[in-house]
Structure 1
Amino acid sequence: MNLADICDNAKKGREYALLGNYDSSIVYYQGVIQQIHKHCQSLRDPALKVKWQQVRQELTEEYEQVKGIMGTLESFKSEKPVDILTPQLEEKVEDPAVWPPPTPAEHRYVCLCMWNSLSEPQKKDSPAMQHRGAGPVSRGQGNPKSERPGYKDARGTKAKDDKKGSGETPGDVEQKKFDGTGYDSDLVDSLERDIVSRNPNVHWDDIADLEDAKKLLREAVVLPMWMPDFFKGIRRPWKGVLMVGPPGTGKTMLAKAVATECGTTFFNVSSSTLTSKYRGESEKLVRLLFEMARFYAPTTIFIDEIDSICGRRGTSDEHEASRRVKSELLIQMDGVGGALENDDPSKMVMVLAATNFPWDIDEALRRRLEKRIYIPLPTASGRVELLKINLREVELAADVDLDLIAEKIEGYSGADITNVCRDASMMAMRRRIQGLSPEEIRALSKDELQMPVTMEDFTLTLKKISKSVSAADLEKYEAWMAEFGSV
């Protein structure tokens, strides 16, 4: 007996079974089982004979499983359900010589359920089966879709989607899809990705200090949504708001808070969003942006670092392509004020811009951004509040005096204060792992690293981290606001 043939036949039997060729698989299984039986008879070693018998038993179990699968497949090909229903159909037909109409798909399903109930005599007398088998044709004609458990999964989803598309449900208004007919689908998709959120979930309370800026933004953006009857005519909402200030003072956070408090769709746009390597496509992107904003109105378009998109025109280093983009942006902004064409503030598109270089902005854009507000460095009380917000998840030692720290960080921006708190909170960890090997550091538990932040940690941190805004920069901002500010 060749052992290679036994292994080869067993391998082929399993492969054919996995491929679904069950007829050939059964032939190979039968052959290999007979070969192992003959081989066992020729063996004299009892231990080896037991092992081969175990192999034969495993192959026999696989053979029975394949036979069971074949039997199940054969049962699907049976015509028993139609035969069972035939007498009922013939009783209703007046002329036996005429064929009955074809059974609808719903009726066929009910027939199959009835056949299953008849093929299981132990369940035939149960109340559930009697109710299921009684009058299948009449129930199927009355409401066949409710009798099909799979119908909801197969078609219910589509019907639900159609209902959403028709706008019948009130919760689907915010989920409407912009129709980009006439535009490149890639351009539409790229702008759809810049819709940060229809609710960024940043509230006024999440922003420390800046009370004057928050008050002005409420009046410019939020109040028109709350009091639409008042903001009409000469009191129409502002078309655009420009936030000017040093880096890291919270201009982006204010923009997200505006979108949240208004409940508007929030577009976060940068220079990379509105530029393309193809000629004329950047202008199309600008126009598409504002058309999408009108579609998703009320909308807040936040353009960060707007000086990089719409700098001063007429300079020697200005390119023709960038000039066309600026012109299209100015044209679109002049017509986006919903209150100019429609007094409904819920249809307005608010352009919210931020810049660190207001003196580089084009004069025409400065005119269209009607409110120009200054976002200053945090005050003494604002610095204390920022320290509390940044350190709310950190344990502080008893000697930590936040008021004293706030005095030492005068002139620091909000981002600088966040960096100070982050570095100070890591000082305890640095002391704990000093001089330890990598294995010892990995073996440290979480509780060993949870040590309070001390006043000494802040003192060391302030020696390493300096402020990022100079006094000369603040003077330039104040001079520009004195000349062009509109608060």
Structure 2
Amino acid sequence: MEQVIAENVDNCSDKSEITDQNTEKDLLSEYREAVKWFERARNELRSDENNQLSFVQMCTEQAASLVAMLYHSDQNNSRREVLNEIYETVNFLSGKLGNVSLSSPDEASETSIDDQTSFIEQDISLPMPEKTLHAPECQNDTRCSARQQAIEETLVRNNDVTFDSVVGLEEAKRSLKEAVVMPLLYPHLFSGNRKPWTRILLYGPPGTGKSRLAHAISSEIDFAFYSVSSSDLLSSWFGESEKMIRDLFEHSRNVNIRSVIFMDEIDSLCRKRKEGEEEGVRRIKTELLRQMDGITSNYGMFLLCATNCPWELDSAFLRRFQKRVYIPLPDEPSRISILKLHAGEERILNQSEWSELGRQTDGYSGSDLANLANAALFEPMRELHSAKRWKISPDGRYSPCFSQEDIGTIEANLKDLPPAFVETRALSLDDFKTCLHSSKPTVNSSDLKLFESFTAKFGQVGS
């Protein structure tokens, strides 16, 4: 490995004597050759067979020698910075493989060939970069950096949603764990013909927890989680939308941890193709189909999509989803759990009262129940403005009193009391019943029949 790098550094100095035109051609050729060696190492690590680490080590050594040569040959400062980052990454990988670590490109340039560059074994603790940069490809694309920045903004960080915070939907949780979490924790179980799912569609009425389920994935294990909507991908510039889709999937393939792309409201991009459709829309669909076909378990990436209108999806897209999971309206136990969750510390109803609420909210989605609980929490606040008598607690707090008792109460208006010591009465079943008249379910029976019909033909129930 030392001799290979030394020879390439020596060749690099010889090339400085040729013409500028030939130098550019040589640089382009060497960039392509370095990429090939990196791809060989990556493909070997991602292969289903037993990995040959000696072959991976050889590939990284060859790639490192080319990167060192390019670092000294290329006069472009931006590309030299990227080459230095790549060199550090190879240094990190060499340490992980038990190989000798490499010197920095600057140190290599200061060492003469006669000294036969020496390399010192050391423990490498450099952080892996978040992505592999493709600087040569972006040089002639003025909008490349803008696309890369937009993709970075779709990455979800510091997400506090977990599977435990999602009520019910046990089958959907199991499918997602099988597809995303299990292959990372137990890779040896997914060898041979057993392949993890790589493309799953979640569908169901609005407000049933599809997006929440997707975001719960990112908090389970260290994933690169991209949350993408149609507005992130579509552009008024000719051809820019297709490039954005391509760059998104390429970015996901090149991060150094397992990645998940979540596309919400996928029907806005993948509606059924029809005669007279605009050429730009057709090209976007074609590019998305091509990228979906390129997703394999070897790349360590996973595509998760959600829609409220699965029957509007083009059959070509529908076919590419290996699992199509129906996220239905919550059942009675789930409805009670959701109401308790959103009522928070105010949930002082007894079990029979919660059961009554569970029966009366049949047909409500998770979002409808959250709105109902929030509206009920406001009912005790509304009484503060009309209260004339106030009960004083031992710690000096005031709560409204509507009975005629005089012991421990005072007569006053809300504005006359110290704001910090005013508190509401406890939440009651009547507060929920009052709000049931104004907080109606947003999903009707005709919509549910469409989902049931679609599930019978193409899907599976995720509850």
Q: TM-score, structure 1 length as denominator? A: 0.60
Residue 27 of structure 2 is matched in structure 1 by none
Task: Write out aligned runs for 1:23-102 (5 A).
Answer: none
**In structure 1, how many angstroms separate the alpha carbons of the residues matched to 2:180 and 2:275?**
34
Matches within 5 A, 1:412-427: 412-427=364-379
1:396 maps to a residue whose letter is I
Rounded Cα–Cα distance in structure 2 between residues aligned with 1:355 and 1:376:
12
Residue 245 of structure 2, aligned match among 278, 286, 290 = 286
Shift of 1:369: 1.0
The aligned residue for residue 411 of structure 1 is 363
Partner Cα distance (1:486, 1:464) in 2: 34
Structure 1 residue identity aligned to 2:152:
E
2:178–2:197: 8 Å Cα contact kept in structure 1?
no
| Structure 1 Cα separation of the partners of residues 345 and 86 of structure 2 | 42
Q: How does 1:295-374 map to 2 (within 5 A)?
A: 295-296=254-255, 297-316=257-276, 318-337=277-296, 339=297, 342=298, 347-374=299-326
Q: Equivalent of 2:162, from 192, 197, 203? A: 203
Structure 1 residues 471 and 315: CA distance shift in structure 2, 3 A: farther
Distance 1:360 1:315, change over 3 A: farther
Amino acid at match of 1:308: S
Partner-residue secondary structure (3-state), 2:193: helix
* Structure having the larger proportion of residues in helix: 1
Identity %: 37
CA contact (8 A) 2:207 2:367 kept: yes
Counterparts in 2 of 1:426 and 1:213: CA distance versus 1, 3 Å: same
1:445 aligns with 2:404: no
- 1:263 and 2:218 are equivalent in the alignment: no
Aligned residues: 315
Measure, in 2, the Cα distance between the counterparts of 1:434 and 1:262.
51
Contact 1:196–1:267 (Cα < 8 Å) also in 2: yes
Structure 1 unaligned runs (5+)?
Answer: 1-161
CA distance in 2, matches of 1:446, 1:425: 19
* Alignment partner of 1:456 is 2:415: no
Shift, 1:444, TM fit: 5.2
After superposition, the C-alpha distances for 1:349-408 in whole angstroms (9 at most, x for unaligned) are 110000000011111111111100000111111111111211123353669821111111
Separation of aligned partners in 2, 1:485 and 1:449: 50
Q: Does 1:187 align with 2:161?
A: no
Does the 8 Å CA contact 1:298/1:348 hold for their aligned counterparts? yes
Moved more, 236-245 or 253-262: 253-262
Q: Within 2, Cα distance between the matches of 1:358 and 1:307?
A: 7
Separation of aligned partners in 2, 1:174 and 1:260: 20
Q: 1:288 is matched by which residue type in structure 2?
A: D
Contact 1:239 1:368 (8 Å CA) reproduced: no
User: Which amino acid in the other structure matches residue 172 of structure 1?
Assistant: P
Q: What SS does the aligned partner of 2:295 have?
A: coil
Q: 1:214 aligns to what?
A: 173
Structure 1 residues 154-177: Cα deviation after superposition (integer angstroms, max 9, x where no partner): xxxxxxxx9999355758337457
Change (3 A) 1:356 1:315: farther
1:399–1:454 CA contact under 8 A, matched in 2: no
Code of the residue aligned with 1:424 in structure 2: it is A
Structure 2 counterpart SS, 1:301 = strand
**AA of the residue aligned to 1:476:** L
Supply the AA of the counterpart residue of 2:195: R
Letter in 2 for 1:354: A
The structure that has the greater radius of gyration is 1
- Name the residue aligned to 2:406: none
Deviation at 1:447, TM superposition (A): 3.9
Is the 1:164–1:172 contact (alpha carbons within 8 Å) kept by the matching residues of 2?
Answer: no
Q: Residue 485 of structure 1: which of 443, 446, 459 is its match? A: 459
Task: Give CA deviations for 1:204-257 in whole Å, capped at 9, x if unaligned.
Answer: 110001111111221222211222122133211112000010000000111011
CA contact (8 A) 2:173 2:213 kept: yes
CA distance in 2, matches of 1:395, 1:447: 22
Determine if contact 2:131/2:254 at 8 Å carries over to the other structure.
no
Separation in structure 1 between the aligned mates of residue 190 and residue 416 of structure 2, nearest angstrom? 62
Cα distance in 2 for partners of 1:443, 1:311 equals: 59
**Contact 2:387 2:414 (C-alpha < 8 Å) held by counterparts:** no
| Residues 312 and 399 (structure 1), Cα distance of their counterparts in 2 relative to 1, 3 Å cut | closer
- In 2: Cα distance, 1:321 partner to 1:407 partner: 49
**How far apart in 2 are the matches of 1:177 and 1:468?**
45
**Using the alignment, how far apart are the partners of 1:213 and 1:293 within structure 2?**
24
CA 1:468–1:441 in 2, change beyond 3 Å: closer, same or farther?
farther
Q: CA deviation at 1:323?
A: 0.8
CA distance in 1, matches of 2:330, 2:280: 39
The change in CA–CA distance for 1:170 and 1:163 in structure 2 (over 3 A counts) is farther
Deviations 1:10-46 (A, max 9, x none): xxxxxxxxxxxxxxxxxxxxxxxxxxxxxxxxxxxxx
Q: 1:380 aligns with which of 316, 327, 332?
A: 332
Change (3 A) 1:173 1:390: farther
**What RMSD over aligned residues (CA atoms) do the two structures have, in Å?**
2.6
Contact 1:191 1:289 in 2 (8 A): yes
Whole-angstrom distance in 2 between the partners of 1:380 and 1:171: 52
Of 207, 213, 234, which residue of structure 2 is paired with 1:248?
207
Bigger shift: 262-271 or 411-420? 262-271
